[in-house]
Amino acid sequence: MRRHHDMGGLDAGPVEQNEHDYAPWEKRVDAILRLLSAPGRRMITVDELRRGIEELGPGAYDEMSYYERWIASVTNNLVEKGTLTVEELGRKMAEVEARWDADRAAHKNSQEERAQ
């Protein structure tokens, strides 16, 4: 039985073979995976990463980008292993969102002051 991520032999259109600039967050995801899978740590293996990606539901898998799938798999693996909890992750995400909102508000205020 073919799973939703298995596209081998299906027409998926042309493959983009050009290099592209990576967004800072994509570089961070790559760095996180490299650190977690380093020989001295071995907190996640390529097989665990692949399993996590393949376990994403069809909707999530199809809607996520390449690096979004990676970070979802890494996160799920670390939660599964007890390395971090959903609560810890939620708190950190709330902190980051609050900083983001504060930075956006400060930037907007700065622009308004310059316009006056």
State residue 10's pLDDT score.
66
For 9: left if phi > 0, alpha if psi spans -120 to 50, otherwise beta; the answer is left
Q: Give the integer Cα–Cα distance in Å for 54 and 49.
A: 9
What Cα–Cα distance (Å) separates residue 93 from each residue in 23, 25, 49, 50, 97? 19, 14, 22, 24, 6
Query: 97 burial class (0-12, 13-18, 19+ CB within 10 angstroms)?
Result: exposed
Query: pLDDT tens per residue, the chain (116 residues)?
Result: 555 555 556 676 776 777 888 999 999 999 999 999 999 999 999 999 999 999 998 889 889 999 999 999 999 999 999 999 999 999 999 999 999 999 999 888 888 888 87
Q: What global pTM score does this model have?
A: 0.74
- 3-class state of residue 6 by DSSP: coil
State residue 53's pLDDT score.
93
